[in-house]
Each structure stands twice: as C-alpha cells, then as structure tokens.
Amino acid sequence: MHFGLFLLTSASTATATDGNSFLAMLISLLPMVAILVLMYFIMIRPQRKKEKETQEMRKNIQIGDEVVTVGGIVGIVVKKSEDTLVIETGGDRSKIRVKTWAIQSNETIHDTPEA
C-alpha cells in the first residue's frame, strides 16, 4: 500500500515540475519575443512605409518633372513609358533612358489635391 502512495506522490510532483519548467521556459523566451516586436516597430515598419512612399513617388512622375537618379544624374523627364523614363540632362540637352526604379527623388513640387 505504501508503494502505491509513493507512485501517486511522485507522479504529481513530476507533473508540477513539468508545468513549472514550461512556465520557466516561456518566461525565458519572453525577452526575445519583446526584442523582435520592438525591432519590427523600430526598423522594419518604417522601412516598409518609406518603400511604399518611394514607389508612389515613382508612379506619379510626370513629363516635365526634374528628377535625380540613384547615380546622381539630374534631368528633366521628356518621355515616360511603363518601366523606363527618358530624361534630358546637361547644357547640350543630352537624352538618357533610365529605368523607373533608378529614380531616387522627384525635385518638382506638385500641388496635392485636398480630399
């Protein structure tokens, strides 16, 4: 009879220990999860927002806009197609065809329609 009581006592102790070890593991992982969430809000989310704004700027380029490429070439857009732009640059009005993704900024200020 004493042997059965010993088994019940050790089984309940093992279950309590397993529960405590799971809780301890969960608590030890909590700082890592907090760091990942913090990194998302500090680094990843603002980067995605900036990429979205850049894509919108590239989509809204119009003929006559002054643009700067990622290579530092400044020119005025004279022709626009699906994925390329022809810009006119320099004093001799040289024309260069560049990909739309290579546009870093649009220096022309447009009035935005108010909603």
The pTM of the whole model exceeds 0.85:
no
pLDDT at 14: 47
Residue-by-residue pLDDT tens, the chain, 115 positions: 454 444 444 444 445 566 688 888 889 999 999 999 999 999 999 999 999 999 999 999 999 999 999 999 999 999 999 999 999 998 898 999 999 999 999 998 877 655 4
CA 105 – CA 87 distance, rounded (Å)? 13
Using H for helix, E for strand and C for coil, what is the string for the chain?
CHHHHHHHHHHHHHHHHHHHHHHHHHHHHHHHHHHHHHHHHHHHHHHHHHHHHHHHHHHCCCCCCEEEECCCCEEEEEEECCCEEEEEECCCCEEEEEEHHHEEEECCCCCCCCC
How far is it, in rounded angstroms, from Cα 96 to Cα 16?
73
Looking at residue 113, its pLDDT comes to: 56
Structure tokens that stand for 10 in this block: 């050790």
Identify the pLDDT of residue 91: 85
Strand partners for 113: none
